[in-house]
Structure 1
Amino acid sequence: MTLDRNAYLICLLAIMQILTACAPNIIYRSVYETCRVSARVKCDKNSLQYYNVGASDEYMLGFVEIDDQGQLRDRSQMKAVIDTFYKTAASESVLITVFVHGWHHNAQPGDPNIESFKGNLAKLSKVESSLSLTQKRPPRKIIGVYVGWRGESITIPVINGLTFWERKNTAQDGGYLGVTELLLKLEEIANVRNSVLPPIKSRLVVIGHSFGGAVVYSATSQILASRFVDSKAGKGFTNTAKGFGDLVVLLNPAFEALRYAPFYELAEERCSYFLEQVPRLAILTSETDNATKLAFPAGRIFTTFFETHNTIQRTICKRPLILDEGEADRTAVGHYMPLISHSLQPADEKQAQRSANYNNMKNIWSTQIRGGSTRFGAVVLTHLDKTEPRNPYLNIRVNEELIGSHNDVFGEKIMEFLRLLIVLSTSE
C-alpha cells in the first residue's frame, strides 16, 4: 500500500511539474500605442515601437501575435499596427520586412530573435539611407513586423525537444489562418502607396525561420503559385514572374520537400527568364541543421507509415527530374538533393574583404550562367545547373561556416546576403 501511494505521489508530482513548466499562453505586447524607445524607455509592452528617430538607422517595429489555433490573439493589436503603418505609408514610401520566428521562441521582451531582428532592421535602414543618397531619391521608411506565436510549449530543457512535431502542427495551422490575413493587409499598404506613383515604390519582404518558415510557406504558397501563373483577365503577354510581396525568404524551414516539389516544377516549366527577373522565393538551409536533417525525417517515418508513394520521372525543358515521393515526404525541403538549385559558400579572403555592392545588384544577378558562381558580399552563390538561370525560386544549400546549426541564422555574412537579396528584389 505504501509503495502504491508513493508511486501515485511521484506520478502526481511529475504531472504537476510538467503542467507548471508549460510556456505562458498570453499576449506579450498588450499596449497598442506607439512608443519611442530610448535608453530610459524600453517600451516592452508596446506593440508599436519607434527606434533611432532622426538617425540614419531609424526604423519602426510592430508586433502581431497569434495563438495555438492560428487565430489572432487580439484583432485590436493587428488593427493598431496596420492603421499606424497605413498612415506612415500615406506620406512616404516604406520597406516592410516581416519576420516569423520558429521553435523555442515567442514575442516575449528580450527574446534573442527579436533582438537580432531589430539589429538587422537598423542595418537595413542604413543601407536604404545610403542608397537614397547615391540614387538621389527619398529614403523609404524601414518598417519591421515581428509575428509572435507560441514556439515553445514546455520550458523544461531536453523535454522541450520532444515538442518538435506538436509545434510543427501549430505552425502550419497559424499559416493557414491569421498570418495570411496579416500578410495580405501589409501587402495592401505597399500597393496603395504605389498606386499614386511615388518617387520610389513601397515594398514588402517576408522572412520565416524554422517552423516560422512553415508558417510563411503555408500562408503564401498558393498565392505564390497564382502570382507566378498570373492568369488575370485581359493579359496579352508573358511578363517576369511575380511573387508574394517582393520576396519571401525561408531560413532552415521545417516542412516537407514534397510540399515544395510542385513549385519547383512550375518554375522549371518556364524554360527561360528575362534578364530583369529577380528572386521571389529563397530557401536557405544549413547542411549541418540537424533539427531538419535528422529529427525531421525520424519523425516523418512514423507519420507517413501507412501512406502510399510513387516515383515520378519527368523531363522538363530537356532537364530530367526523378522524384521519390516517399523520400521527399520524409525529408525537409532543404535536404532533398533533387530539388536543391544552388549552394552558398564563404568567399575567399580576398573576395570577402571587398565591400558588398548594393548599387549594382540587378546587373550582378542578371549575369548568372548555368553552373556559374556569383559573389554576393562575403559569400559566393553557385548555380548547380539543375534549373534555368534567374529562376525566381531558389532552394539553397548553405555551408556550415555560414549557418552552423538550426538557430544560427543571424550571422553577419548571411544577414548581409539577405540584405543584398532584399535590395535586388525591391529595387526599381
Structure 2
Amino acid sequence: MSLIKMMPLQALLCASALLTGCASNEIYRSIYEPCSVSPGNACEKNSLHLYNTDQDNEYTLGFVEIDDQGQLRDRKQMQALLDTLYKKAAEESILLNVFVHGWHHNARPGDPNIESFKDNLAKLSAIESRRSKELKRPARKIAGVYVGWRGESIDVPPFNYLTFWDRKSTAQDVGYLGVSELLVKLEEIANVRNSMMPPIKSRLVVIGHSFGGAVVYSATSQILASRFVDSQEGKGFTDTAKGFGDLVVLLNPAFEALRYAPFYDLAQARCSYFPQQVPRLAILTSEADVATGTLFPLGRVFSTFFETHHDIERNDCKHPLALDEGEADRNTVGHYLPLISHNLTSLDKEKNLQIASYDNMKSLWSTQTPGGSTQYGSTVLTHLSRTNPQNPYLNIRVDEDIIADHNDVFNEKVMEFIRLLIGLSTED
C-alpha cells in the first residue's frame, strides 16, 4: 500500500483515538457527607474524608471540582467543604493546605497526586502535633483541599501530549473563575478564626503544580500585587509585605516569565524589608523540567510570532536587570534566568552551613546576607544577590538531583523543604 493511500487510514485511526479517548468530564466526588477512611472503606465517592481520627497525624481532606470553563461542577460540593471547615475553625485553629494539580491529573480516586498530597498532610499533622507539645500550645488541625479539574482532555497516549496548549488555556479560565472564589472563601475561614484572638492563629497555604501553578497564579496574582502595594511607603504606614493567605508555592509552573516580571519589579523597588518579613510566594522549577523548559517555549515561538517586544533596563535599589521581553514571553517563569533569585541544591556535607530548623528559621531568615546559603533539611538554598535577601518573592531554580523531571515534585527532598517553608511563613 502506498504512503498516500495509507494517510487517510492513519487520519481515521487518529480521529477514532481522539474521539474515544476523551477524558471523563463528570464529577468524581458526588457524595458530600464526611466519611471516615479506613482499610475497608476508601470513601471514593465522598468529597470529604477524615483520616487518622484522634491520632497525631490526623487530618481532613476535601475535594472541589472545576469544569473546563472555570465553573464549579456543583456548588453544593464546595459549600459542604466550607461548612465543615467553618465549623472546625469555630472550635480550634487550623492549618489549611490547598493543592491544585496540573497536566495529566484530575480528582479521580487513586490519582497519584491525591495519594502524595495525603502523605504530605499526614506528615504536616505529625509535625504540628510535635510542635504543639514542644511549645506548650494547642495544635492546629490540618485540613487539605484538593482542587480537581480536567488536567487533560484526551487520556490516550501519546495523543494526550497534544493537549498541552488546550490545557494551558483551560488553566487560565479555571484560575480566574472558580478557584478565585474558593481561595478567597478559604482565606476568610482563617481570618474569621483569627479575629477571635486564638492562642495560635489559623493559617492558609496554597500549592499549585504545572498548569495548576498557572491556575493558582491567575487566581492570586492581582491580590498579591494589591497587598504588596498596601505595605509600601506613601500609604500612611509601612509594613511587612502581605501575601495571599500565608504562603503560595508554585512547583514547575507553566506560565510565562513575562507575567511574573511586574511582581519582580514591585519587590525590587522596595529597597529594604523589616526583619520579620517572611516569604509570601515561592516558585520552584527544576532545571531538568522538559515540559516547561523545552516544550513550552517551542509552542510560544508560534503564538508570539506577530507580537512586538522590547528590551527593558532596570536598576532598582542597585539591583540591575536587563529584561528581554521576547525571551520572557516565550519562556516559563522558572527558566528565564534573569528573574531567578535563588538556587536549591543538594546538601554538601563538607560545607559548614547554617541549619534551618522549626525553632530558628525566622531568626536565620531575618539575618541572611546577599549570596548566603542556608541548609533546609537535605537541601541548600543559596541567594544569588539579585534581590534583597528578605524579598518575599522567591523564584528558585532547583537542581535535577532534587526534582528529576516535570512530575517529580512530591519526593521527600522537595516536600521537606516546602514543609520548612510553611513553618517559616506560618509560625506565630
TM-score (norm 2): 0.96
Match of 1:42 in 2: 42
Q: Is the 8 A contact 1:353 1:378 kept in 2?
A: no
**Contact 2:285 2:398 survives alignment (8 Å):** yes
Matches within 5 A, 1:107-146: 107-146=107-146
Alignment of 1:244-259 (within 5 A): 244-259=244-259
Per the TM alignment, residue 367 of structure 1 is displaced from its structure 2 partner at its CA by: 2.2
1:84 aligns with 2:84: yes
Q: Which amino acid aligns with 2:97?
A: T
Q: What secondary structure sits across from 1:358 in the alignment?
A: coil
- Map residues 3-82 of structure 1 onto 2, 5 A cutoff: 11-82=11-82
Using the alignment, how far apart are the partners of 1:114 and 1:312 within structure 2? 42
Give the Cα–Cα distance (whole angstroms) in 2 for the partners of residues 13 and 260 of structure 1.
41
d(CA) in 1 for partners of 2:353 and 2:225? 39
- Output the amino acid matched with 1:370: P
Counterpart for residue 374 of structure 1: 374
Pair 257,4 (structure 1): closer, same or farther in 2 beyond 3 Å = closer
Change (3 A) 1:144 1:109: same
Decide whether the 8 Å contact of 1:287 with 1:397 is kept in 2: yes
The one-letter code sitting in structure 2 at the alignment partner of 1:335 is H
**2:304 is the alignment partner of 1:296:** no
5+ residue gaps, structure 1:
none
TM-superposed CA distance for 1:82, in Å, is 0.6
In 1: Cα distance, 2:356 partner to 2:314 partner: 39
Cα RMSD of the aligned pairs, angstroms, is: 2.1
Worse-superposed segment, 357-366 or 190-199: 357-366
Task: State whether residues 282 and 394 of structure 1, in contact with CA within 8 Å, keep that contact through their aligned partners in structure 2.
Answer: yes
Note closer, same or farther for the CA distance 1:7–1:217 as it changes in structure 2 (3 Å cut).
closer
CA distance in 2, matches of 1:411, 1:158: 25
SS in 1 for 2:327: helix
Residue 337 (structure 1) aligns with: 337
3-state SS, counterpart of residue 360 of structure 2: helix
Deviates more, 1:180-189 or 1:151-160: 151-160
What SS is found at the alignment partner of 2:288? coil
Change (3 A) 1:355 1:368: closer
Given that residues 69 and 170 in structure 1 are in contact (C-alpha distance below 8 angstroms), is that contact kept between their aligned partners in structure 2?
yes
1:291-330 alignment runs, 5 A limit: 291-330=291-330
Provide the aligned length of Structure 1 versus Structure 2.
425
Contact 1:309/1:325 (8 A) holds in 2: yes
Q: CA–CA distance in 2 between the matches of 1:10 and 1:157?
A: 16
Q: Give the match's secondary structure for 1:190.
A: helix
Closer, same or farther: CA 354–56 of 1 in aligned 2, 3 Å: farther
CA contact (8 A) 2:353 2:373 kept: no
Alpha carbons of structure 1 residues 6 and 319: separation in structure 2 relative to 1, 3 Å: closer
Q: Is the 8 A contact 2:225 2:263 kept in 1?
A: yes
Q: 1:231 to 1:396 in 2, by over 3 A?
A: closer
Q: Which amino acid aligns with 1:82?
A: L
- 1:125: how far off? 0.4
Corresponding residue of 2:191: 191
Q: Deviations over 1:153-201 (max 9, x none)?
A: 1111122111111111000110010000000000000000000100000
Amino acid corresponding to residue 386 of structure 2 in structure 1:
K
Confirm or deny: 8 A CA contact 1:343 1:381 kept in the other structure: yes
Summarize the Cα distance change of 1:388–1:11 in structure 2 as closer, same or farther, 3 Å threshold: closer
Structure 1 residue 349 displacement after superposition: 3.9
The SS at the match of 1:359 is coil
- The 8 Å contact of residues 352 and 379 in structure 1, kept in 2 or not, is answered as no
Aligned to 2:348: 348
Q: Does the aligned pair in 1 maintain the 2:354–2:373 contact within 8 Å?
A: no
Counterpart Cα distance in 1 of 2:353 and 2:37: 34
Residues of 2 paired with 1:200 and 1:98: CA distance? Answer: 20
Query: 2:270 is matched with which residue?
Result: 270
User: Amino acid of the residue matched to residue 189 of structure 1?
Assistant: I
Q: How far has the Cα of 1:358 moved from its partner?
A: 1.5
| 2:124 alignment partner AA | L
SS of corresponding position for 1:122: helix
Cα–Cα, structure 1 residues 217 and 352, in superposed 2: closer, same or farther, change >3 Å? farther
Kindly provide the amino acid, as one letter, of the partner of residue 89 in structure 2.
Answer: A
Q: Which runs of 5+ in 2 are unaligned?
A: none
Report the CA distance between 1:236 and its aligned residue: 2.9
User: Are 2:70 and 2:175, in contact at CA under 8 Å, matched by a contact in 1?
Assistant: yes
C-alpha contact 1:280 1:392 (8 A) present in aligned 2? yes
User: Aligned residue for 2:205?
Assistant: 205
Structure 2: distance between partners of 1:57 and 1:183: 25
Q: Which residue of 1 aligns with 2:394?
A: 394
CA distance in 1, matches of 2:325, 2:393: 20
Task: Report Cα offsets for 1:181-228 as digits up to 9, x if no partner.
Answer: 000000000000000100000000000000000000000000000011
Write the deviation string for residues 209-251 of structure 1: whole angstroms up to 9, x where unpaired. 000000000000000000111179x963201000000000000
Deviates more, 1:323-332 or 1:341-350: 341-350
Instruction: Report the CA distance shift for 1:14/1:386 in structure 2 as closer, same or farther (over 3 A).
Output: closer
Per-residue deviation at 1:9? Answer: 6.9
DSSP-derived class of the 1:15 partner: helix
Note the alpha carbon deviations across 1:40-82, whole angstroms, 9 max, x for none: 1110111000000011000000000000111111001000001
Partner of 1:155: 155
Q: Distance in 1 between matches of 2:350 and 2:308?
A: 51
Over the matched positions of the two proteins, sequence identity in percent amounts to 71
After superposition, the Cα gap between the structure-2 partners of 1:56 and 1:353, relative to the gap in structure 1 and judged at 3 Å, is farther
Partner-residue secondary structure (3-state), 2:63: strand
In 2, distance between residues paired with 1:7 and 1:369?
Answer: 62
Q: Which amino acid aligns with 1:130?
A: R
Q: Is the 8 A contact 1:339 1:395 kept in 2?
A: yes
The separation in 1 between residues aligned to 2:5 and 2:316, in whole angstroms, is: 68
- Structure 1 range deviating more: 303-312 or 13-22: 13-22
Q: 1:393, 1:288 → 2: CA distance?
A: 22
Post-superposition Cα deviations, 1:114-133, rounded to whole Å, max 9, x if no partner, equal: 00000000000011001101
Q: 1:199 to 1:160 in 2, by over 3 A?
A: same
Q: 1:282 corresponds to which residue? A: 282
Q: Amino acid of the residue matched to residue 289 of structure 1?
A: D
